[in-house]
Amino acid sequence: MKTPAKIVIILLVVGAAAAAIVLKGNKSSNAANSSTPVATTTAESAAAAADATAKLPKLLDLGATKCIPCKMMAPILEELKKEYAGKMKVEFIDVWQNEDAGKKYGVEMIPTQIFFDANDKELFRHTGFFGKEDILAKWKELGVNL
């Protein structure tokens, strides 16, 4: 294995371990960690409203905006959200800002991706960085044609 690949793997493992430690021990106020909300367009709002009522499979990513592997997932999630709009829901929850979500989904380490069918039944769970092609392959393996 080449040295740059080893460094990336080590950074991912260290980042995930640090995120898990902070997630378990994070008792501080969420107000200090809040970030500026991003404005959405009317079209994005309408698409989000349509997605909320549609019965679609869902990819839920639970992480944090300040976690290194989570940051690496962010552009992948955005691509999937745009490319598969109307075919799949893609959601991100920052568990450092929303600790209850981490507890609700039993998250022990971030990032955690949970694959749900159209009826919100959990099909698969993955912890750590998950590439776009791997996500799409997992959907196919689970029998979900996007």
- Stated as kind and residue range, the H or E segment containing 60 is strand 58-63
CATH of domain 3-141: 3.40.30.10
pLDDT tens-digit profile of 46-105?
555 554 567 999 999 999 999 999 999 999 999 999 999 999 999 999 999 999 999 999
Tell me how far CA of residue 41 lies from CA of 50, 82, 97, in angstroms. Answer: 14, 14, 24
DSSP state of 88: -
Active site residues: 67, 70
Rounded-to-integer distance, Cα 146 and Cα 122, Å: 17
pLDDT tens-digit profile of 70-84?
999 999 999 999 999
